[in-house]
């Protein structure tokens, strides 16, 4: 069987390119036929994946190699096609999708498992979410609005990120903006609707709609979320002091934050978030603009395990 790969060479601060060369050696050694396309800029993952899906009429396997941004883009290209099974080799900095579906988070182990799986073609079905705001699309990990999207927007726009990325210190940019913006960001009134029930939060910092527990490179933002239960876990941080917010960012690594009284959790299939002030939004860590957003469960997608 011919395997199709979409590789983001820039993932993991450019290390993904070297990872791909090693993957290629293994494929050749196993005499596996493959075809590869490289992304050249943001958005290419979606375009290439859609082109593959439209060209092929028989079932085929499309494997994304990169980080969460890469699998996000590839899923956006193929979510509406039933004849595609998606594979994922984690080769990014965060790799939360792999954690979320309990797939190995190192490229070597993931490749080994996938090579076994390809022979038997073992696929599992997973939920993906659909969002509609000024942009629309699907997500595999989470959609977030408010403070976290604000931080990632600031960090991505920073000239320091590119410089520090080259030194593999890119994460410090997020920490810098987290500490700085904590004192500048103004929490807002948010109206949240979960399956027709309405809730109002007067000083909301952030709302995360999660498909599985992981976020931001291993933080357990929604510890009980499951990626195959056809619903989302919603986490709201409201009316928290700036000092306590800092401790929240420490406890979120093991999921301890959900015991705080300022953290509210819900579960549902249809979520609407609106606010008087347009809130920054992200889907799987990718910027998707700002404003009100509606999120619903998309049909499941088949993933190679
Ligand atoms: N050739 C390219 N050059 C620059 N950016 C690219 C290229 N191809 C894709 N991108 C963009 O790179 C961004 C980051 O990719 P990705 O998220 O896969 O890697 P990562 O940030 O290292 O991993 P993670 O999200 O898991 O932390 C995505 O927004 C994607 O659109």
Q: How far is the CA of 41 from the centre of ligand 1 (A)?
A: 8
Residue 304 is assigned to a structural domain of this protein: no
CATH code for position 50: 3.40.50.10330
Residue 303 is assigned to a structural domain of this protein: no
Burial of 85 (0-12, 13-18, 19+ CB in 10 A): buried
What does the pLDDT read at residue 169? 67
Question: Cα 30 to chain center, whole Å?
Answer: 31
Q: How far is the CA of 260 from the centre of ligand 1 (A)?
A: 34
Residue 121, pLDDT > 90, answer: no
Q: How far is the CA of 217 from the centre of ligand 1 (A)?
A: 14
DSSP 8-state symbol, 224: T
Find the domain containing 10 and state its range. Answer: 3-121
Q: How far is the CA of 290 from the centre of ligand 1 (A)?
A: 21
Other CB atoms closer than 10 Å to residue 243's CB: what's the count?
9
* The ligand 1 atom nearest the CA atom of 71: 18
Best residue for ligand 1 mutational test, from 11, 18, 110 (most atoms within 8 Å of Cβ): 11
In this structure, the strands spanning 84-90 and 60-66 are: parallel
pLDDT digits (tens, 9 = 90+) for 2-34: 899 999 999 998 999 999 999 999 999 989 999
Greater model confidence, 305 or 110? 110
Residues 157 and 259 in one domain: yes
Instruction: Report the C-alpha gap between 110 and 91 in whole angstroms.
Output: 10
Inter-residue contact 43 to 10 (CB < 8 Å): no
Residues 201 and 274 in one domain: yes
This model's pTM is above 0.90: yes
Residue 199, pLDDT > 90, answer: yes
Is 95 close to ligand 1, i.e. is its CB under 6 Å away?
yes
Of the residues 121, 155, 185, the one at which a domain ends = 121
Residues 204 and 168 in one domain: yes
CATH code for position 279: 2.60.200.40
What does the pLDDT read at residue 88? 96
Instruction: Report the C-alpha gap between 254 and 115 in whole angstroms.
Output: 32
Of 102, 113, 71, give the one whose Cα is nearest residue 225.
102
Residues 173 and 102 in one domain: no
Is 152 close to ligand 1, i.e. is its CB under 6 Å away?
no
Domain total for the chain? 2
Residue 9 is assigned to a structural domain of this protein: yes
Instruction: Report the C-alpha gap between 45 and 25 in whole angstroms.
Output: 23
Q: Using pLDDT thresholds of 50, 70 and 90, give the confidence band for residue 132.
A: very high
pLDDT digits (tens, 9 = 90+) for 162-190: 776 666 666 778 788 888 999 999 999 99
What does the pLDDT read at residue 173? 80
């Amino acid at each position: 069987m011919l395997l199709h790969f979409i590789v983001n060479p820039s993932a993991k601060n450019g290390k993904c390119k070297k990872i791909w060369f090693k993957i290629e050696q293994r494929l050749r050694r196993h005499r596996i036929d493959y075809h590869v396309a490289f992304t050249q800029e943001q958005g290419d993952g979606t375009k290439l994946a859609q082109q593959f899906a439209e060209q092929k009429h028989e079932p085929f396997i499309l494997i994304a190699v990169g980080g969460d941004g890469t699998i996000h883009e590839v899923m956006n290209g193929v979510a509406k096609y039933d004849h595609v099974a998606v594979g994922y080799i984690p080769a990014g900095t965060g790799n939360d999708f792999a954690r979320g579906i309990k797939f190995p988070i190192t490229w070597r182990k993931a490749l080994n498992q996938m090579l076994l799986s390809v022979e038997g073609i073992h696929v599992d079905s997973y939920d993906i979410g659909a969002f509609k705001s000024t942009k629309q699309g699907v997500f595999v990990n989470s959609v977030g609005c408010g403070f976290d999207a604000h931080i990632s927007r600031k960090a991505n726009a920073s000239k320091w990120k590119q410089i520090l990325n080259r030194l593999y210190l890119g994460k410090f940019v997020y920490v810098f903006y987290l500490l700085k913006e904590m004192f500048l960001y103004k929490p807002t009134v948010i109206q949240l609707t979960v399956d027709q029930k309405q809730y109002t939060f007067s000083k909301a910092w952030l709302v995360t709609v999660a498909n599985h527990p992981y976020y931001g490179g291993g933080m357990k933002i929604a510890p009980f979320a499951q990626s195959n239960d056809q619903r989302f876990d919603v986490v709201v941080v409201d009316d928290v002091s700036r000092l306590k917010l800092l401790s929240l960012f420490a406890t979120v690594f093991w999921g301890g934050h959900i015991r705080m009284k300022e953290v509210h959790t819900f579960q549902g299939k249809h979520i609407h978030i609106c606010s008087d002030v347009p809130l920054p939004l992200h889907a799987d860590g990718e910027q998707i603009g700002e404003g009100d957003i509606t999120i619903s469960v998309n049909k499941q997608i088949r993933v190679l395990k």
